[in-house]
Amino acid sequence: MFPGAIDVHPATYLDQLGTIFARFAPQDSGNISYGVQTGTARYFVKTTAEAPDAYLNLTDRVKLLRNAVDLARSVAHPALPALHTVIESPTTPLLVYEWRDGDLLGDPTTRERFRALPTREIVAALNALYDLHAALDAAGWVQCDFYNSSMLYDFPARRLTVVDLDLYHRGPVRNTMGRMFGSSSYMAPEEHVLGAPIDSRTTAYVMARTAQLLLPDAPPQLADVLIEATTARFPSYPAFYEAWLTASSTIGASLSNRST
C-alpha cells in the first residue's frame, strides 16, 4: 500500500494517505514523527526536516535514519517495532514502523509509575531489554545515546518497546567526540573520554545503569551483577547478560510484589 517514493512534502503525503492522529514535533534532533491511521491499521512514521537548531545538519540526520533502517532490517525482536517500509521523498526518507502503544519513560511521571511496579514486572521488562541487546550485540551493534526516552512501556499489556536507536553503530569504534551523545546518568565512563574504545563492554555498562535507575530495590543477586557491571566491568555484553540470567534464575520464584 506504500509507494517506494513520493514527490511531495512528507506531511502532505501522510495527510493524503490517512488520518494523522499524532504529531511529534522536532526536538534538538531535528527529526519529526507522526502517528498515521489508514483504515484500521496504525503506523509510526519517522522522518526529518530542515531544523536550524538541530545538533546535526540535514545530511547527517538522513544518514542516521538510514542507519536506523539498517538496524531494523538486521534484527527482529518483540521489543523492537517492525519496520514495514521506507518511502523516499525529495529531501528525506520516511521510515514506516508498526505503531506501539505505550508511555515514554523519559517522562518523569511515567518513569516513577514504572519504578513503582512490582519487582517481578520490572525484571520482566529488563529481561526483554537485555534479550534485545543480546540480539543486537550478536548482529554487531554497539549502543550509543540509549537512555530513558528510548523506552516505551505499555502498562496494561506489560510490554516494553525500545525506540530511537538511530545512533547505534556497527562494531567497536573510538570515541571521537569526547563527551558523546547521551544522558550522563546512563553513559559509560568511556563515552566521556576522547579516543576511548566504545564496544560491547559499553553496552553492558549502559544496560546495567538502566536497571540501577529503573529497579530501585533490586534483589541482592541482581544488584551484585549490576554493581560489577558498573565498577570492575564485564569483558563483554554476553558476559554481563549471562551473569544477569544466572542471577535471575536463582531468584525467579522468590520475586515478590513490592508494596507501592
Q: Where do the CATH 1.10.510.10 domains begin and end in the chain? A: 103-253
Least confident span in 11-20, 63-72, 155-164, 230-239? 11-20
Instruction: Compute the distance between CA of residue 182 and CA of residue 179 in angstroms, rounded to an integer.
Output: 9
Contact, 222 vs 207, CB < 8 A?
no
Maximum alpha-carbon separation in the chain: 58
The candidate with the shortest Cα–Cα distance to 38, out of 62, 56, 24, 21, is 21
All cell numbers assigned to 168: 547505534
What pTM did the predictor assign? Answer: 0.92
Mean pLDDT of the chain: 91
**In this structure, which topology does domain 103-253 adopt according to CATH?**
Transferase(Phosphotransferase); domain 1 (1.10.510)
- pLDDT tens per residue, range 49-73: 766 677 778 888 899 999 999 999 9
Q: What is the pLDDT of residue 59?
A: 87
Q: How many CB atoms lie within 10 A of CB 166?
A: 21
134 Cβ partners below 8 Å, 6+ apart? Answer: 237, 238, 241
State whether CATH 3.30.1600.10 applies to domain 10-98: no
- pLDDT tens per residue, range 84-122: 999 998 888 999 999 999 999 999 999 999 999 999 999
Q: Answer yes or no: is pLDDT of 259 > 50.
A: no
What is the b/e burial string over 236-250, where b = at least 16 CB atoms within 10 angstroms of the residue's CB?
ebebbbebbeebbee
Over pLDDT 70: what percentage of the chain?
93
All cell numbers assigned to 131: 534479550
- pLDDT tens per residue, range 122-179: 999 999 999 999 999 999 999 999 999 999 999 999 999 999 999 999 999 999 999 9
Q: Residues 149, 152, 154, CA angle at the centre, nearest 5°? A: 155
Q: Answer yes or no: is pLDDT of 257 > 50.
A: no
All cell numbers assigned to 143: 549502543
Secondary structure letter of residue 49 according to DSSP: -
Instruction: Compute the distance between CA of residue 172 and CA of residue 182 in angstroms, rounded to an integer.
Output: 17
